[in-house]
Amino acid sequence: MNNVLEWLEKSATNYPDKIAFADVENTITYKDLDVESDILASILIRDEEVKERQAIAFYLEKCVDATVGIFATLKSRAFYSFIDLRSPKTRQTKVIETLMPKIIFTDDENYAEAISMFSSYPDTKIISLETLLSDVRKELETKSYEDLSERELLVKRRQTALSNDPVYVNFTSGSTGTPKGVVVGHASIIDFIEVFTKTFDLNKNDIWANQAPFDFDVSVKDIFASISVGGTVNIIPRGYFSNPTALMDYLVERKPTVLVWAVSAMCFVSIMNGFGYKVPTSVKKVIFSGEVMPIKQLNVWKKYLPEATYVNVYGPTEITCNCTYHVVDRDYDLKEVIPAGKAFENEHVFLLDDNDKEIREAGEVGEICVSGACLALGYYKDKEKTNAAFMPNPANTEFLEMMYRTGDLGRYDEEGLLYYVSRKDFQVKHMGQRIELGEIEVAASSKDKVERTCCLYDNNKKKILLFVMGDADKKELLEELREDLPSYMIPNKVIMIDEMPMTKNGKIDRNALKQVAGL
């Protein structure tokens, strides 16, 4: 197997009338998904002259129509990239200027905005995917598939396809303010998804409840894991994650068995007392990632869904979704951290010290590095950043082994399990001591009346700042922290906030907190 489209074609053959994707208003079967994406791909190749390995951007919210667009894009041997509609306009423009897509797919609701923002790019055509697919469906009422599809063009494109053709480009934050586009190919997705589905026994009977936006790689585990086994994906509208009753109604109604969610989404449910309203008892597997899961919030989930399996998965976008996992197999103390776990099959996860020597001893902290078929194809049109992060493993002197430097710090325990410690950026020198800000966050999160925490360091004033969401008393919290932390790790200032700001990828937005603190 060398192309993710083989999963769709197999499921369309085996389960033609089964729902592949559903949103609040629409559904699509595997057969219709295969047929409509064939016809749309034919239009792209024939009329729009989309070239191989060319970008097609999506400027719309996730929906059933978007999935048709995704697979049509892949059938034309192009790759997809979703633009976050809520990101700043300057960021959206930078992404489009990097991609220079042949086509920007939007919908009727966002068409005027897309025209006003991107019509100045002469080589880019803006198309309402909603209108185009509506026309295709009307034509299918009177014409045959053979009349509307260009099989010769599709077969020709497929015959030239390579396993390292890009599937998508997801943009992550860049330290210089310029977004970095992570390019992920067919071979890496196939390698990961086949292991992912096998490891967690995901199968045709599973129903996904998709939380992640399609510009975030968590969605890859929903879209491609499901089509690979013939499952069903229910797409949850973004707005439901600010409306707990709508979210819980949707989950109870759709009866999902699998949740592959960001930690922030799980915390939203537990903090907002979603389970006090309704409990989706159909859920059997909860796979979470993105940040360290607060034990207090996980315990709420375990209280209401005690029979579900909970799995912590770790890994940056650059290694295709995840590289390690740990099945939660016991109760954890509030001051403990759930392990990142062990490497997925066919992935090599290891630690390097400051001298690029591999760390094998328990307890010693080093940078988490990853090698294997999981690696992305680098950053789109950015050779300098690619070479800085993707490089030969310096610990391997026998042959060329490419690896990715995650920028994360980790350590092993006595059993060989990996623990995420913090970002290298979050390790600071304070009062002559090296401090992991994540350790302060875990200690604070364990206290009563504390819902979520985030710790920052003011380099100018040399002060530790602790942001707290909850009803805790600041003075009492600091006193309690003295029982767990040495004096040099006690925050210099506690800042209470009503809501923790989030990035588009569902992580705590530290830049927004810096603005709150005036840093």
Predicted confidence (pLDDT) at residue 178 exceeds the cutoff of 80: no
Q: Please state the rounded mean pLDDT for residues 164-177.
A: 80
Give the pLDDT confidence score for residue 173 in this predicted structure: 67
The residues, ordered by sequence, that sit 6+ positions from 56 with a Cβ below 8 Å of its Cβ are 44, 50, 69, 73, 76, 78, 79, 80, 81, 101, 102, 103, 104, 105
Query: Could you give the residue ranges of the DSSP H alpha helices within 272-318?
Result: 295-304
Beta strands in 54-153 (DSSP E): 55-59, 79-82, 103-106, 125-128
The residues, ordered by sequence, that sit 6+ positions from 176 with a Cβ below 8 Å of its Cβ are none
User: What CA–CA distance (Å, rounded) separates 114 from 133?
Assistant: 18
Predicted confidence (pLDDT) at residue 161 exceeds the cutoff of 90: yes
Locus of tokens 């970002």 = 423
pLDDT tens by residue, 382-415:
999 999 999 999 989 899 999 999 999 999 999 9
Say which CATH architecture domain 431-517 belongs to.
2-Layer Sandwich (3.30)
Instruction: Give pTM, 2 decimals.
Output: 0.88
CB 95 within 8 Å of CB 81: yes
Quote the percentage of the chain above a pLDDT of 90. 84
Q: Which long-range contacts (CB under 8 A, 24 or more apart) does 15-18 make?
A: 15/204, 15/230, 18/230, 18/232
The residues, ordered by sequence, that sit 6+ positions from 439 with a Cβ below 8 Å of its Cβ are 422, 485, 489
Cα–Cα nearest to 317, from 75, 81, 6, 101: 81
Phi/psi of residue 371, nearest 5 degrees: -135, 165
Cα–Cα nearest to 233, from 259, 265, 197, 201: 259
Quote the percentage of the chain above a pLDDT of 70. 98
Predicted confidence (pLDDT) at residue 179 exceeds the cutoff of 90: no
CB 468 within 8 Å of CB 495: yes
Give the pLDDT confidence score for residue 174 in this predicted structure: 53
User: What CA–CA distance (Å, rounded) separates 217 from 189?
Assistant: 11
> Which one is predicted more confidently, 422 or 343?
343
**Distances 497 to 243, 281, 449, 467, 468 between C-alpha atoms, Å:** 20, 33, 13, 7, 6
Torsion of CA 386, 389, 390, 394, to 10 degrees: 140
pLDDT tens by residue, 183-200:
999 999 999 999 999 999
Give the pLDDT confidence score for residue 462 in this predicted structure: 85
**Stretch (H or E) spanning 369:** strand 366-372
CB 59 within 8 Å of CB 110: yes
Q: Report the half-sphere exposure of 428 (CA within 13 A, side-chain side).
A: 19
Give the pLDDT confidence score for residue 243 in this predicted structure: 96
Say which CATH architecture domain 5-235 belongs to.
3-Layer(aba) Sandwich (3.40)
Predicted confidence (pLDDT) at residue 221 exceeds the cutoff of 90: yes
User: What CA–CA distance (Å, rounded) separates 50 from 404?
Assistant: 32
Sequential DSSP letters for 52-80: TT-EEEEES---HHHHHHHHHHHHTT-EE
The residues, ordered by sequence, that sit 6+ positions from 204 with a Cβ below 8 Å of its Cβ are 15, 229, 230, 231
User: What CA–CA distance (Å, rounded) separates 142 from 157?
Assistant: 27
Instruction: Summarize the chain as % helix, strand, coil (round to 5).
Output: 35, 25, 35
Q: Would you place residue 486 in the very low, low, confident or very high pLDDT band (cuts 50, 70, 90)? A: confident
Predicted confidence (pLDDT) at residue 176 exceeds the cutoff of 60: no
Would you state the structure tokens that stand for residue 202, as one six-digit string?
Answer: 């995901």
User: What CA–CA distance (Å, rounded) separates 297 from 294?
Assistant: 5
CB 207 within 8 Å of CB 201: no
Torsion of CA 32, 55, 182, 74, to 10 degrees: 30
CATH 3.40.1360.10 fits 236-425, yes or no: no
Count CB atoms within 10 A of the CB of residue 175: 9
pLDDT tens by residue, 353-391:
999 999 999 999 999 999 999 999 999 999 999 999 999
> Which amino acid type is present at position 105?
F
Q: Please state the rounded mean pLDDT for residues 99-125.
A: 95
pLDDT tens by residue, 299-340:
999 999 999 999 999 999 999 999 999 999 999 999 899 999
How many residues would you count in the chain?
519
**Distances 297 to 266, 267, 386, 415, 504 between C-alpha atoms, Å:** 8, 6, 37, 26, 21
Q: Please state the rounded mean pLDDT for residues 467-496.
A: 91
For CA atoms 379, 384, 389, 390, the dihedral sign is positive
> Which one is predicted more confidently, 454 or 428?
454
Give the pLDDT confidence score for residue 175 in this predicted structure: 46
Domain assignments of the chain as residue spans, ordered by start: 5-235, 236-425, 431-517
5-235 matches 431-517 in fold: no
Predicted confidence (pLDDT) at residue 260 exceeds the cutoff of 70: yes
Q: Is 230 exposed, middle or buried (0-12, 13-18, 19+ CB in 10 A)?
A: buried
pLDDT tens by residue, 504-516:
667 888 889 999 8
